[in-house]
Chains A and B, each alone.
Chain A
Amino acid sequence: MSRIELQEASVRATTGQGEVQILAPTTLTLTEQRVALIGPNGSGKSTLARLVNGLVGAATGRVVVDGLDVAKQGREVRRRVAFVFTDPSAQLVMPTVVEDVALSLRHTHRDREERTAAALRVLEGYGLEQLAERSVHSLSGGQRQLLAIAGVLATDPEVLVADEPTTLLDLVNTRRIAELLFGLRQQLLLVTHDLDLALRCERALLVEHGRVVADGAPAEVVEHYRASAW
């Protein structure tokens, strides 16, 4: 399992009112297979998740993944840490399904025919091979999210950070994506409002007002969250 470390890492942003702290200096180490990040909208949980692969830079402190400093060795870290977003539309950048997966494989497969064959194998693994030549634009929400996950896992990373991956999905697709995520060999850092999913993790963090206010067994952290929300 990978080791994700935040060492006094904080995030600030400049707004019309001056500099605002989005995430207070935070120190923690994540080594569990599945970690849930829960909390209200705007609490800073997505920001914390984005620190892990350098989508957001730390204003102070350090973020280290398997001994690699995210600020200094961003390229190596991003090859280890994949990221999926709430809305997969922005993540799918090629016109067709197979081409989008092939884009992820450009690092590893220089030959186009080999790359396409590898992309088709990846699609087969996710039951998407029938859609290979379809326009990404014509896919349903669930198919898009599945493709987004297939695209980032095609390079076989060590960690998957998923930022509310089921928020836009219906019940059937939520279940399908959840089963996929919880069946992965990769370490999973899951930002979610779905407390049932959080309860299936080994550890949960509750983020409120830019601070980690509870950290531990999911049942206790979820209970804490419910109590504070009501």
Chain B
Amino acid sequence: MSDLLGVYQPGTTFLHRMPAGVKLTAMAVISVVVVAYRSPATSGVLVAVVLALLAVARVRLRLLARTLRGLLMVMALLTAWQAWQQGWAHAFAVVGALVGLVLLATVLTVTTSVDELLDTLTRALGPFRRLGVDPALVALAFSLMIRAIPTTLEIGRETRQAAQARGLDRNLRALLTPMVIRSVAHARATGDALHARGIADD
């Protein structure tokens, strides 16, 4: 659960060698197409293609299982709701698209180092510099967002355990209040750390 989208696995497959910009663009185009033309057939093709890509990228089965396990609850609830509301075909289309896109994102993160993504985003955002956008800062924010996912999940897990230890695991306030406070505190500490490392100076 701690690395829902996986972390970079060095390799020499053609997906590893493909420029990050091409992968990002392909992912954006595929996401738009899958959402715009949502159907059981589109989702089926997406899942099949993504499974093939995962095999080509030699993604470890353990990581794949972990990613799917992280999605299990959402998938189960969404499938039940969609099947009840609009039938099984629609449920397959929606949940298939969701799973396919998360796995597609996993292909990207497993075959592309964040450092390479930073470089690509910084280059891509270069033209916006004249509008006052700092490409390096936007790219850094992107990488911090990826890093924040496991950290927030960890804070959530610790908060839940702390509430359980006090017999307050059904008290929403006891769960949410410390989680929000700790998340904000962590964000501030990260800001301090970036400041201290002089990274936000450029």
Q: Is B189 an interface residue when CB atoms closer than 8 A count as contact?
A: yes
CB contacts under 8 Å to A, within B93-135, are 113-116, 118-119
A79-B198, A91-B193 known; A137+B3 contact, CB < 8 A: yes
What residues of B have a CB within 8 angstroms of the CB of A107 in the complex? 198, 202
A75-B201, A133-B9, A133-B10 known; A99+B193 contact, CB < 8 A: no
Q: Is the CB of B196 within 8 A of A93?
A: no
Instruction: Tally inter-chain residue pairs, CB-CB below 8 A.
Output: 95
Q: Is the CB of A95 within 8 A of B196?
A: no
Q: Is B12 an interface residue when CB atoms closer than 8 A count as contact?
A: no
CB contacts under 8 Å to A, within B122-175, are 136, 143-144, 146-147, 150-151, 154
Q: Is the CB of A55 within 8 A of B115?
A: no
What residues of B have a CB within 8 angstroms of the CB of A87 in the complex? 189
Q: Is the CB of B8 within 8 A of A55?
A: no
Give the CA-CA distance A85 to B197 in the complex, in Å. 11
Q: Is A226 an interface residue when CB atoms closer than 8 A count as contact?
A: no
Q: Is the CB of B151 within 8 A of A89?
A: yes
What residues of B have a CB within 8 angstroms of the CB of A75 in the complex? 198, 201
Q: Is the CB of B7 within 8 A of A112?
A: no
Q: Is A144 an interface residue when CB atoms closer than 8 A count as contact?
A: no
Q: Is the CB of B8 within 8 A of A133?
A: yes
A75-B198, A95-B7, A112-B116 known; A85+B193 contact, CB < 8 A: yes
Q: Which A residues have a C-beta under 8 Å from some C-beta of B? A: 53-55, 74-75, 78-79, 82-83, 85, 87, 89-91, 93-96, 99, 102-104, 106-107, 112, 115-116, 133, 135, 137-138, 151-152, 155
A-B contact pairs, 9 of them (CB 8 A): A79-B198, A82-B197, A90-B189, A90-B190, A91-B196, A93-B193, A106-B136, A112-B115, A137-B154
